[in-house]
Amino acid sequence: MKDYLKHHEWQIVEEGFDAHLNKVSESIFSIGNGRMGQRANFEEEYSGETLRGSYVAGVYYPDKTRVGWWKNGYPEYFAKVLNAPNWIGIHISIDNQKLDLAKCKVENFKRVLDMKTGLLSRSFTASFADGKKVSVSSKRFCSMANGEVGAIRYAITPLNFSAKATCSIYVDADVVNKDSNYDEKFWEEVSKEASEGKAIVTAQTKKTFFHVATGMKYVIESEGKKVSFDRINIEQREKFAGNVVQFDLHQGKEVVIYKYAAVLSSENHPKDKIAANCSKVVDDATAKGFDKLFEEHAKIWEHKWEECDITIEGDISAQQGIRFNIFQLTQTYTGEDERLNIGPKGFTGEKYGGVTYWDTEAYCLPFYLSTSDPKVARNLLVYRYKHLPKAIENGQKLGFVDGAAFYPFVTMNGEECHNEWEITFEEIHRTSAMAYAIRDYVDYTGDDKYFAEFGLEVLIGNARFWAQRATFSSDKNKYVVLGVTGPNEYENNVNNNWYTNYLGAWTLRFAQHAIDHVKKTDSKRFAEIAAKTNLKEKEETSKWKDIVDKMYYPFDEKRGVILQQDGFLDKELLTVKDLRKEDRPINQKWSWDRILRSCFIKQADVLQGIYLFEDDFNVETIKKNFDFYEPMTVHESSLSPCVHVILASKIGYKEKAYELYLRTARLDLDDYNNDTEEGLHITSMAGTWMSVIKGFGGMRVKDGKLHFTPYIPEQWKSYSFRLEFRGRVIKIKVGKEKVDTILESGEPLELFVQGKSVLLK
């Protein structure tokens, strides 16, 4: 755990330069706008430890799979979000000395991420070997108003000298992925052009042939006037284009370099026009200028915060933590493009390939449902609908037939690209995350037309998967589900993982519900879907019912607890308190087999199921299971604690809830797991949001009505949050003594606080 950032309500502030923390800060200070984003790399050269990363949403590379021992069914490739062309570079040298913070003496270093406006700032003074000293101040943002535009204001002031400065300003597509499996480069040049003040490089990815045009223009001013250059050279080489200019620096006088960038992808532009369009976008941005661009950008952020801010009084660190999570989530996914999704690291790193996991449905969806226009959440659902044919193909590759949809564990275009058999083939619960998301969406928004439009097809595919994946055990006279990995990935290839069995049976019931609903509300559309999916309704649904009726659920009568899986009680039943400090985290300290044999739980499993289907269990049952499983849970997945916060809140374990909340809220800011340098845990940030809203706030939707059972952690004075709900914006403020519910916009609404009806007007 680290604690080097200043606590501040709206800002992340790093003071003083520590090269050892640079990669951590590069992650934390990342900026993006849903279309593109980047780590907080320096504009100038930096020869120290850095992970350079710019990313363009939806642009990926199918890197050839690397395995030790090939298993039948493995995919040929692992899709990776690409490190994309670098548009931030501004290299400065003075008297042949490079401005490089790894080599200069650095003072007064300050890095600030203003979350209110989405602005990354940095300032410092640097001394060269010969004693020359400059002060630098840079500001940078990726425009929320125009997702293809970025802008930099880079100001340099010579403090104790006057001299010639040489400045290289460029775009560079000769970039690599650090996680390339076979050390290959993924980009090839398509075209480039450079002229005075402007450069554009169009590059394409190998194999996937995405084109990305990256353009830049710059303006260099001093005291409001354009600086005149001694010389200007056009620089071009493979995948690189820019200018090198030389100009005078006068002691004490600031020179400001404005760099405007445009990043266009062939996902949004025809390939034959992309360079020309890029040229236009960068011209327009330059014409608009930095201040105007920033104003438009900040306005969007203002609006975003109105939708989704959470305020916490009395705990500035908690306030900063929750806003940081919301900020990163918001700039990762804006919901405007249904082809996009939320990579586990967003635009902040390469790890996990930046592709889509079940995290989206299980953790992120509730955040976007409550804080954005319903179309945002809907687009996340449609994304999976569009992948349905691929999910059916994925199933076929593993031997499933007749339209059984097996959604991938990791994907970019719908194809599976994970290659670890115990996950890829066995962590099958993820396919029902897509079904549960439909329920979540319809429950929250009331948009039950979604069944007819897209939902039913997904549910039929899903139900077919479970109908084939369950095995009838003649020994038990029950249906069993063999050979799975549950959300708790510290168990592999187990039989009858309760979470999986429960979710599978629920999916079959929910598919039946959807069929009934569509038949009743839109029989014509139902007939269409039945024809399209070749549904043998009676035969198939009676099989589904048989499985639902005879599904086997492991249970311990003696303790009255659900069993995580068959054989769980054969384990030595220890608790996390029995572990020595040097055993933690067990995923770094123990061999894999020891983890598997132990009772320790990486991530909520039975409790995850109880959380999802809370209404099926009484408080007594929840308590028993919480008391049994929580002490065994090591929370070594960032996705784990939030579920425990919600359940602990539900059963009145307030201290436990707050303890676990702390674990998630500042996970990245304090680098809790010592892995922030690889990127931020974006998807788990939504879990943190859930901890507050569903945990402390006790928000639920029942029969189309909002319910709250809020309480306040002792350490706080008050907290408040806003929710979008069916056309209204509601603000809930929870204090020590009372709960305020305010309708900020929209029609009157009845909601429930602690079970009591409240009519908001």
Here the contacts of 61-69 (C-beta below 8 Å, separation 24 or greater) are 61/177, 61/186, 61/205, 61/206, 61/207, 61/208, 62/207, 62/208, 62/417, 63/177, 63/179, 63/180, 63/181, 63/182, 63/184, 63/186, 64/181, 64/182, 65/181, 65/417, 65/419, 66/181, 66/182, 67/419
Interaction of residue 573 with a second copy, rule CB under 8 A: yes
Is there binding between residue 618 and a second copy (CB under 8 A)? no
How far apart CA 100 and CA 122 sit, in angstroms, is 14
Neighbours of 96 (CB within 10 A): 8
At closest approach, how far in Å is the CB of 67 from a second copy? Answer: 4
Applying CB under 8 A, does 488 fall inside the site for a second copy? no
With beta carbons less than 8 A apart as the criterion, state whether 586 and 600 touch: yes
Exactly one of 73, 289, 704, 735 binds a second copy (CB under 8 A); which one? Answer: 73
- Counting contacts by CB under 8 A, is residue 480 touching a second copy? yes
Which range in 486-494, 517-525, 694-702, 736-744 contacts a second copy by CB under 8 A? 486-494
Q: Least distance from C-beta 422 to a second copy, angstroms?
A: 8
Beta bridge partners of 701: 706
Both structure tokens of 393: 């193909």
Q: Binding to a second copy by residue 590, rule CB under 8 A?
A: yes
Buried b (16+ CB within 10 A) or exposed e, 435-457: bbbbbbbbbbbebbebbbbbbbb
Which CB atom, from 399 or from 652, has the smaller least distance to a second copy? 399
> At its nearest, how many Å lie between a second copy and the CB of residue 661?
29
Range 490-509, binding a second copy (CB under 8 A): 492-496
Q: How far is CA 237 from CA 192, 203, 234, 243, 477, in A?
A: 9, 13, 10, 12, 70
**How far lies 660's CA from each of 286, 315, 615, 629, in Å?**
47, 16, 23, 14
By beta-carbon proximity to a second copy, the closer residue of 473 and 709 is: 473
Q: Which of 571, 705, 707, 726 is close enough to bind a second copy by CB under 8 A?
A: 571
Distance CA(681)–CA(325), nearest Å, equals: 9
Phi, psi (rounded to 5 degrees) for 293: -60, -45
Tokens of 278: 């890029």
Assess 553 for contact with a second copy (CB under 8 A). Answer: no
Contact call for residues 169 and 194 (beta carbons, < 8 A): no
Q: Are 607 and 625 in contact (CB under 8 A)?
A: yes
First CA to last CA distance, the chain: 46
CA distance 343 to 725: 26
The residue (of 496 and 541) whose beta carbon lies closer to a second copy is 496
Query: Of the residues 26, 415, 426, 489, which is catalytic?
Result: 489
Minimum distance from residue 185 beta carbon to a second copy (Å)? 18
> Measured from the CB atom, is 542 or 588 closer to a second copy?
588
In angstroms, what is the minimal distance from the CB of 406 to a second copy? 10
User: Site mask, a second copy, residues 414-433, x = CB under 8 A?
Assistant: -----xxxx--xx-------
Rg (CA), the chain: 27
Closer of 638 and 649 to a second copy (Cβ):
638
Beta carbon of residue 229, minimum distance to a second copy (angstroms, whole number): 48
Reference 702, options 650, 734, 743, 750; nearest CA is 750
Residue 477 binds a second copy, judged by CB under 8 A: no
Nearer to a second copy, 272 or 593 (CB): 593
Residues 6+ apart with CB under 8 A from 209: 266
Q: Does 757 bind a second copy (CB under 8 A)?
A: no
* Tally: H helices and E strands in the chain: 22, 33
Which residue from 313, 393, 566, 670 is in contact with a second copy, where contact means CB under 8 A?
Answer: 566
Q: Give yes or no for a contact between 729 and 307, defined as CB atoms under 8 angstroms apart.
A: yes
Position 674 contacts a second copy (CB under 8 A)? no
Instruction: Please choose, out of 191-199, 265-273, 477-485, 736-744, the segment that lies near a second copy by the rule CB under 8 A.
Output: 477-485
> Binding a second copy by CB under 8 A: which of 105, 164, 299, 476?
476
The token pair at 43 is 């504009």
> Whole-angstrom Cα distance, residue 132 to residue 129?
7
575 contributes a contact to a second copy by CB under 8 A: no
Q: Is 593 in the site for a second copy (CB under 8 A)?
A: yes
Q: Does 43 bind a second copy (CB under 8 A)?
A: no
In the set 209, 472, 553, 555, which binds a second copy (CB under 8 A)?
472
Instruction: Output the CA–CA distances (angstroms, integers) from residue 3 to 12, 15, 16, 558, in the order listed.
Output: 12, 12, 13, 46
Site size with a second copy, rule: CB under 8 A:
49
Q: Is 489 noted as a catalytic residue in this protein?
A: yes
Q: List Cα–Cα distances, 313 to 333, 649, 660, in angstroms.
A: 28, 20, 19
574 near a second copy, rule: CB under 8 A: no
Residues forming a β-bridge with 55: 37
Q: Which is nearer to a second copy, 474 or 618 (CB)?
A: 474
**Chosen residue from 588, 674, 745, 754 binding a second copy by CB under 8 A:** 588
Q: Based on the shown chain and the rule CB under 8 A, indicate whether residue 636 belongs to the binding site for a second copy.
A: no
Sole window of 94-102, 192-200, 273-281, 587-595 interacting with a second copy (rule: CB under 8 A): 587-595
Give yes or no for a cis peptide into 585 (omega within 30° of 0): yes
Residues 379-408, mask of contacts with a second copy (x by CB under 8 A): ------------------xxx---------
Instruction: Tell whether residue 71 is a contact of a second copy (CB under 8 A).
Output: yes
Question: Smallest distance, Å, CB 474 to a second copy?
Answer: 8
Q: How far is the CB of 346 from a second copy (least distance, A)?
A: 22
* Cα(234)–Cα(214) distance, integer angstroms: 17
Indicate whether 555 belongs to the interface with a second copy (CB under 8 A): no
- Tell me which stretch binds a second copy (CB under 8 A): 157-165, 354-362, 476-484, 714-722: 476-484
Residue 594 binds a second copy (CB under 8 A): yes
Is 569 an interacting residue with respect to a second copy (CB under 8 A)?
yes
Positions touching a second copy (CB under 8 A) are 65-69, 71-73, 397-399, 419-422, 425-426, 471-476, 480, 482-483, 492-496, 566-567, 569-573, 587-597
As annotated, the active-site residues are 489
